[in-house]
Structure 1
């Protein structure tokens, strides 16, 4: 039986909005993702795969770490925003449909990818099989079930921001995603057969200068059509952007989970 047709991606690449999204995402989450990889000992000679590499900041960092003798393959369904370089190759890959080599990588990393993939439960075991024995899988995802506004000008502004969050979650679910999947990642990695599962979580306060809030503002434009489908109007989205520019606005971030586990059967790097 042929695999199902790929779903329309919630976030695409190759547009001004997508490039701004990559910049905000990297500024918000690289300070969590990259130290986790560094602490795992990524270094010369490692062979690494990134799923859903987006703007490429993780892949570029890995490419510097694995020289000499290592390699990084940065993949995305639409890799147009990725640039190859020393130790760094780029390929188009739909992780839900395309084959992966067996026992090929010392490290596989996927950030904010699998929560958008309806078949994530079957993708995870394939990622595990693509690891060498002892290899490391790092999955970074969010749980957006709790990210409330904390300081707003009035009750109407608070409700507007909450409506935006609900519409965004509904849009993700309509595309087969799970905006709360971050909390399920540790158990999912263990169920996929990984050992030494290690969990780090991060939560912060969003404000006008915070790249995480910049990412939210980007979503009002990048996801405009989907948000309108969920009942928001352009005038409301404009007011959400104005609210997020308010110097006094504060909101809790979603919980960002960075979870690592190792494939059994070897010592790894």
Structure 2
């Protein structure tokens, strides 16, 4: 099965995805996302039924926390193919294969998987509808797609030290959105993805919605701090200054600042 997926002949141009796995800040980003989102993803996977012998695909695996969890659950006899444009080394597990793969351009085997998991990938792809159709085809009849996406256009401030801090945070959010839109990303796609699954032919589409707080000590808040470094060049291009980025880092350490996280949508659908 894994051999049917070829390595990407040419990874997309460097810098096409703002959260580059090669960045010195990628490890912090992955750690925050896992602490925030793994409970959501793993809860949805448990509810959907994951067991020995299943064949799974994890697209955009990142640091691999979900792929490793799946590998433990589908053993013995199951398999997990973890793919990424720039895959990171993962600890060995029976049945786990890691491949460099571009889900837009590279082949996927048809009707090969019982389960496909995709987290925070499709919203970044202008070709998201075509990719969704390819993932549908990669599932065997009865197989399930688990999709997790943000509505990153929703991120209101609840409390701030003063009006200047509130305005700066709102400009920071808008600068991020502009930077992603320039790369073809749709940061509000989370609220549309359930409808997209239905349109792609999936049945039994179900969704869970979650909002958290950017509160002191949370991975959601720490991730914003990482973003000021990880996305530094993009944010500067979008009009923020080095002094303002430093001011934001101070704001994220201020207990008087509180905001809502992006909305998290965990959606699943079945191939008939």
Q: Normalized against structure 1, the TM-score is what?
A: 0.94
Cα shift at 1:83: 4.0
Q: Distance in 1 between matches of 2:94 and 2:181?
A: 38
Residues 19-55 of structure 1, C-alpha deviations (whole Å, 9 max, x = no match): 1100000001111110100111101011000000001
1:244-255 mapped onto 2 (5 Å cutoff): 244-255=252-263
1:185 aligns with 2:193: yes
Instruction: Show CA shifts across 1:62-97 (max 9, x none).
Output: 011001110111110000244442221100011111
Give the distance between the partners of 2:171 and 2:91, measured in 1 at CA. Answer: 37
Deviations 1:120-141 (A, max 9, x none): 0111000000000000001100
Q: Aligned to 1:141, what secondary structure does the other structure show? A: strand
Aligned residues: 262
**Equivalents in 2 of 1:114, 1:203: separation in Å?**
20
- In structure 1, the residue matched to 2:180 is 172
Shift of 1:10: 1.5
1:78-157 paired onto structure 2 within 5 Å: 78-157=86-165
What's the secondary structure of 1:65's corresponding residue?
helix
In the alignment, which of 55, 73, 82 is matched to residue 74 of structure 1?
Answer: 82
Q: 1:251-262 alignment to 2 at 5 Å?
A: 251-262=259-270
**Aligned mate of 1:6, from 3, 8, 12:** 12
Cα distance between partner residues in 1 of 2:99 and 2:93: 13
Q: Is the 8 A contact 2:72 2:93 kept in 1?
A: no
Task: Give the aligned partner of residue 218 of structure 1.
Answer: 226
Unaligned runs of 5+ in 2: 1-9
2: distance between equivalents of 1:196 and 1:213? 34
Moved over 6 A (4+): none
Aligned to 2:6: none
Alignment of 1:231-246 (within 5 A): 231-246=239-254
Q: Which moved more, 1:4-13 or 1:38-47?
A: 4-13
Unaligned runs of 5+ in 1: 265-269
Which of 154, 159, 170 is the equivalent residue of 1:162?
A: 170
TM-score (normalised: structure 2): 0.93
